[in-house]
Structure 1
């Protein structure tokens, strides 16, 4: 049995990617795609 609900927390470092500062749009798009996959599978994401 898998998870029904998950809580996601991001750090600035995780969003910065290789740049080391700011928000890397490639990283942000990847994370958004992964979250959408979870939602499409019926998992609540908070």
Structure 2
């Protein structure tokens, strides 16, 4: 039995992948929005 045929594993893997993508996107997007919209400094 392969892991990709295991339903609970696929749901866990998909959810974790989406979560990690959102986390890393927020690391870039939030400071960028602060700099552009609020005229904040890069630090």
By relative contact order (CA 8 Å, sep 6+), the higher-ranking structure is 1
TM-score between the two structures when normalised by the length of structure 2: 0.44
TM-score between the two structures when normalised by the length of structure 1: 0.42
Between Structure 1 and Structure 2, the one with more strand by share is: 1
Between Structure 1 and Structure 2, the one with more helix by share is: 2
Which protein has the larger Cα radius of gyration, Structure 1 or Structure 2? 2
